[in-house]
A and B are shown apart, each in its own frame.
Chain A
Amino acid sequence: MIIAERKPFDEIKQEILNYKKVLVLGCGTCVSVCMAGGEKEVELLATELRMAAKIAGKELVVDEMTVQRQCDKEYVEAVIEKAAQYDVVLSMACGAGVQFVAKTIEPAIVMPAVNTKFIGVCEAEGVWAERCRACGNCMLAEYGGICPVTMCSKGLLNGPCGGAKNDKCEASQEKDCAWVLIYNRLKAQGKLDNLRKFTGARNYTFQASPSKQVNEAYVRPELAVKK
């Protein structure tokens, strides 16, 4: 899932400084699971904003709403009517959600309340770690299910750099050397031969920005791409 963290409170306050009616809009999917922008975090942020405004003697209306996904048309369309009643929408979704809401309720003002960090996994309660850089050309099959693009600080595809010490990365002692992990995994799988193969330079065209994905089987006829 996409991992995010809430922006510092002062930055959020600055974003909404000139507005009097704020809708804090949560997202019930990724940011909800990583406890950055779900229903509960919306409640906390809205309460904090109301409290801070009252202490500062400022008039501020802060309401709350959370939709299942801010990156999905059917859920975001449900926001249009409500959002029209506010000066600004403070979106707690990832960057994709913020942009999608901004486009949907254009030209209404939408501000981000979280910083989107990475695609990752939940390692333990309250701990998330990056696992995928969305490079567009998955090579996990060759590396025993450990991604060198993401897990190696240098993104090396053909073996370790030689700087690892005690199985830790030379860039940070807190990080495991991805190539030690890959070697151990392939050894356990009896697939060390994989390492004899040479992997050519990465093809960055797979990661063209902004990327788009179309599944023709599901595209409505009136919207289908004409060939």
Chain B
Amino acid sequence: MTDNWEPVVIAYLCHFCSYSAADLAGSMRLEYAPNVRISKLMCTGKVDAQFILKAFEDGADAVMVSGCEEGDCHYLEGNLRAKKRIAHVKSLLKEVGLEPERVEMYNIGASDAPKFVRAVNEMTERARKLGPNPLKKKENTVPA
């Protein structure tokens, strides 16, 4: 399984900043790890611990949540709420027996496509170092 294994990184991005940064990365023809699967939300304040646990239960190797820069949230403090929630999820992962480093919170402004690229590459590399999620079902393995 490890031979063909490529990490799957789930990214929850907010509509107003981080998703726009991802969009801009495309327009700028920036290259980043193809391992990321993006899910757009109106705000990272919507991210629930269950979204992230479920992603891991279904085999994700890493999850990144990215909102607006602190102080710039379109909904004022959704990203600050997400930050707290991610800290909580890290403790839940530890309880369960997964590495807390598999989840991370980022803040990426709409015009900061290079930061988005760095974040995706960083999470992909991190997942690669940590190895496959032990909960991954064999049939879910991503072909090389």
Contacts and interface: CB of A to CB of B under 8 A. Distances in A.
A219 interface: no
B98 A47 contact: no
Interface in A112-146: none
Interface residues on A, range: 10 to 19
A40 B50 contact: yes
A51 B135 contact: yes
A44 B97 contact: no
Given A40-B50, A55-B96, A47 B135 contact: no
B80 interface: no
Contacts of B29: none
A34 to B, nearest CB: 16
Contacts, number: 37
B50 to A, nearest CB: 5
A55 B97 contact: yes
Interface stretch (B1-9, B51-59, B67-75, B122-130): B51-59
B95 interface: yes
A221 B2 CA distance: 70
B138 to A, nearest CB: 13
A44 B96 contact: no
Q: Which of B48, B54, B56, B95 has the most CB atoms of chain A within a 10 A radius of its CB?
A: B95
A52 interface: yes
Contacts of B135: 51, 54-55
B134 A44 contact: no
B49 interface: yes
Given A50-B57, A51-B53, A54-B134, A44 B95 contact: no
A44 B49 contact: yes
B50 A52 contact: no
B38 interface: no
Contacts of B49: 44
A40 B135 CA distance: 22
A56 interface: yes
A10 B54 CA distance: 20
A5 interface: no
Interface residues on B, range: 10 to 19
Contacts of B56: 51
B117 interface: no
Contacts of A56: 97
Contacts of A48: 53, 92, 95-96
Contact of A52 (B48, B54, B97): B97
A52 B95 contact: yes
A9 interface: yes
Nearest to B92: A48
Interface in B2-58: 48-50, 53-54, 56-57
Contacts of A10: 95
Interface of A: 9-10, 40, 43-44, 47-48, 50-52, 54-56
Q: Which 3 pairs from chain A and chain B are nearest by CB?
A: A9-B95, A55-B97, A51-B96
24 contacts: A9-B95, A9-B96, A10-B95, A40-B48, A40-B50, A44-B92, A47-B53, A47-B54, A47-B57, A48-B53, A48-B95, A48-B96, A50-B57, A51-B53, A51-B57, A51-B96, A51-B97, A51-B135, A52-B95, A52-B96, A54-B134, A55-B96, A55-B97, A55-B134
